[in-house]
Amino acid sequence: MTDENVHLKVAMAEVLGLFLVSLVAILVGMYGLEVVDGFAAIGTIGGVIPWIGAGLLLCTLVAFWNENILVTAAFGVFAIFCLSFNGMVGGVEGLGGSNNEQAMYYMIFVGIALAMIGLVSLAQPVKILPVFLFIAALAFIFLGLWYNGLAEGNADDYRTIVGVLWTVAALLALYMATAISFLVVKGKPVLPLLITK
């Protein structure tokens, strides 16, 4: 019996998706660490995040087509967040910016969803993936707390934590994309992905 499912092996949704995640994560991380600041930095994030979301949606569709449930779930959650970010923030700010609780809960729920995907990913052999997903989950949870803190005047309590978590997530996503690229190109692991048998 033959496998009649068509797979897009050339696309490598994992690598492109991880590079895209690292792009948005480093922007948020640098803003959180106050390396960049002000409305120009926020404008940059707001300007690129829908495009990153569109790219992640494409990666999600390819992963779905390739029957990769973990990548479909993780990139799908990232894609929807990126695509809805400007509407969520603009909606809150358009109402006077006095009630950020809904946006906070939205970001925290994204973090919980990524944590659940990370929990499922513990059952697969690439152990760096759950590490990345748990760090990304914490990054989203603290981003939500920070965003709500902007309205309540205690944002500084969370800003550095957000910066560190998002920067670590960016570097880990970049590392994973590079390690997977080497694995595919060379046909053997060059950088460790913590693969167990």
CATH of the domain at 22: 1.25.40
Burial letters for 72-110: b for 16+ Cβ neighbours within 10 Å, e otherwise?
A: bbbbbbbbbbbbbbeeebeebeeeeeeebeebbebbbeb
Residue 8 is assigned to a structural domain of this protein? no
Residue 38 is assigned to a structural domain of this protein? yes
pLDDT tens, 161-197?
Answer: 999 999 999 999 999 999 998 888 888 888 888 888 7
Residue 48 is assigned to a structural domain of this protein? yes
- What pLDDT is stored for residue 1 in this prediction? 47
Residue 191 is assigned to a structural domain of this protein? no
- What pLDDT is stored for residue 10 in this prediction? 47
Work out how many domains the chain is built from and give that number. 1
Residue 58 is assigned to a structural domain of this protein? yes
- What pLDDT is stored for residue 45 in this prediction? 87
- Written as tens digits, the pLDDT of the chain (197 aa) is 455 555 555 447 899 999 999 999 999 999 999 898 777 788 888 889 999 999 999 999 999 998 899 999 999 999 999 999 888 777 655 555 555 778 888 999 999 999 999 999 999 998 999 999 999 999 999 999 888 876 566 677 788 999 999 999 999 999 999 999 888 888 888 888 888 87
Contacts of 23 (CB under 8 A, 6+ apart): 48, 52, 170
Residue 90 is assigned to a structural domain of this protein? yes
Residue 166 is assigned to a structural domain of this protein? yes
Task: Give the range of the structural domain holding residue 33, as residue numbers without chain letter.
Answer: 13-186
- What pLDDT is stored for residue 93 in this prediction? 57
- What pLDDT is stored for residue 39 in this prediction? 73
Q: How many CB atoms within 10 Å of residue 34?
A: 11
Return the structure tokens found at 195: 């693969």
Residue 192 is assigned to a structural domain of this protein? no
Burial letters for 132-143: b for 16+ Cβ neighbours within 10 Å, e otherwise?
A: bbbbbbbbbbbb
At residue 177, the 3 state secondary structure works out as: helix
- What pLDDT is stored for residue 149 in this prediction? 75
